[in-house]
A = this chain, B = another copy of it.
Amino acid sequence: MYIPDFDDVRKAHERIKPHIHRTPVLTSSYFNSLTGAELFFKCENLQKAGVFKARGASNAVFSLSEEQAARGVATHSSGNHGLSLSYAAGRRGISASVVMPRTAPRAKKDAVRGYGATVVECEPSTSSREAVFAEVVASSGADFVHPYNDPRVIAGQGTCALELVEQAGPLDALVAPIGGGGMVSGSCLTLSNVSPKTRIYAAEPEQADDAYRSFKAGHIIADDAPVTIADGLKVPLKDLTWHFVSTYVSDILLCSEQEIIDAMYLIWQRMKIVVEPSSAVTMATILKNPQLFEGQRVGVILTGGNVDLKKLPWMAS
């Protein structure tokens, strides 16, 4: 296992700069007064493909040799990573295959195809997904870009915290959502080098608290099929992300489904930006633990904005 270092983050940043947005950092008097902290929101919902994952995917794609690039890239993801890898491959003009269950929403398949990638359908089961994916890689020789347990991806995600510190100045703490741990690992990698005193908190839904339980137990615990509105945070930690999480994270904070929805609504209403539930988990945990952040300068990573605008959670009630 190759563990990326800070030099990889710096190189990643130079490599991907032409292909990503340097997203703005927003502030909100409203949330400052609500929490007693000074919050700096890094808006990766405004990133290419609507999510921070465009960073890691671009770093993976643009660090391929010409020879490998000619054979393309592949992944299995019906979510933001599939979209981001398609975006990055499209920028380089190489092929990308994304294995998705045939039952995945039409809009997600269309979005991947919109970037010029190929959707390869499988049955909605792990065994079918793995079989179909193995076939794609065997027949094409495509490079597998894992959504998070990949040093190129983690180094790419680390560029986000690097920009945040440049834009916001010194931070006492950072809060980022945790699913597989790609963003948190990249943030750990960067901050442990450029700002080692910044405490790093991972924010997770109670209903998908495998990272929390792993962190408390001291080893990886993977859940089978957690159910949460924060659909980007259902995946388990893997060896590479566990390394960073277990070494550098101060604590993992939990919140309920309703707290996620309430925080998401407040962010849309007060900050006028579209964030997905996974992003709102950060604000929900800060509102729940104000004593950890009061009087401090706190970075908050709003990870993405890919939601179905016709099915908003506060419309259900």
**A residues near B, CB below 8 A?**
21, 24, 26-27, 29, 45-46, 48, 50, 265, 268-269, 271-275, 305, 309-310, 312, 314-315
**What's the minimum C-beta distance from A173 to chain B, rounded to whole angstroms?**
23
**What's the minimum C-beta distance from A135 to chain B, rounded to whole angstroms?**
33
**What's the minimum C-beta distance from A52 to chain B, rounded to whole angstroms?**
12
Query: When the two chains form their complex, are residues A272 and B314 in contact, meaning their CB atoms are under 8 A apart?
Result: no
* CA A312 to CA B314, docked complex, whole Å: 12
**What's the minimum C-beta distance from A303 to chain B, rounded to whole angstroms?**
11
Query: When the two chains form their complex, are residues A309 and B46 in contact, meaning their CB atoms are under 8 A apart?
Result: no
Query: When the two chains form their complex, are residues A309 and B314 in contact, meaning their CB atoms are under 8 A apart?
Result: yes
Contacts of A269 in B (CB 8 A): 309
Q: Which residue of B lies closest to A271 (CB)?
A: B46
Contacts of A314 in B (CB 8 A): 309-310
**What's the minimum C-beta distance from A21 to chain B, rounded to whole angstroms?**
8
Contacts of A26 in B (CB 8 A): 24, 46
- Residue of A27, A46, A265 most packed against chain B (CB within 10 A): A46
Query: When the two chains form their complex, are residues B273 and A46 in contact, meaning their CB atoms are under 8 A apart?
Result: yes
Contacts of A310 in B (CB 8 A): 314-315
Contacts of A312 in B (CB 8 A): 309, 312
Query: How many copies, total?
Result: 2
Query: When the two chains form their complex, are residues A272 and B305 in contact, meaning their CB atoms are under 8 A apart?
Result: yes
Kindly list the 7 A-B residue pairs having the minimum CB-CB distance in the complex, ordered from nearest.
Answer: A272-B305, A24-B24, A272-B274, A45-B272, A273-B273, A46-B272, A50-B272
Contacts of A274 in B (CB 8 A): 268, 272-274
**What's the minimum C-beta distance from A57 to chain B, rounded to whole angstroms?**
16
Query: When the two chains form their complex, are residues B46 and A265 in contact, meaning their CB atoms are under 8 A apart?
Result: no
* CA A5 to CA B27, docked complex, whole Å: 32
Contacts of A272 in B (CB 8 A): 45-46, 50, 273-275, 305
- Residue of A29, A272, A273, A274 most packed against chain B (CB within 10 A): A272
* CA A275 to CA B309, docked complex, whole Å: 13
**What's the minimum C-beta distance from A89 to chain B, rounded to whole angstroms?**
15
Q: Which residue of B lies closest to A267 (CB)?
A: B274
The 27 sampled A-B contact pairs (Cβ below 8 Å) are: A21-B27, A24-B24, A24-B26, A26-B46, A29-B48, A45-B272, A46-B271, A46-B272, A46-B273, A50-B272, A265-B309, A268-B274, A268-B309, A269-B309, A272-B273, A272-B274, A272-B275, A272-B305, A273-B273, A273-B274, A274-B274, A309-B312, A309-B314, A310-B314, A310-B315, A312-B312, A315-B315
Contacts of A45 in B (CB 8 A): 272
* CA A6 to CA B24, docked complex, whole Å: 29
Contacts of A48 in B (CB 8 A): 29
Q: A272-B274, A309-B314 known; 4 other A-B pairs, CB under 8 Å?
A: A45-B272, A46-B272, A273-B273, A310-B314
**What's the minimum C-beta distance from A88 to chain B, rounded to whole angstroms?**
13
* CA A150 to CA B215, docked complex, whole Å: 60
Q: Which residue of B lies closest to A114 (CB)?
A: B30
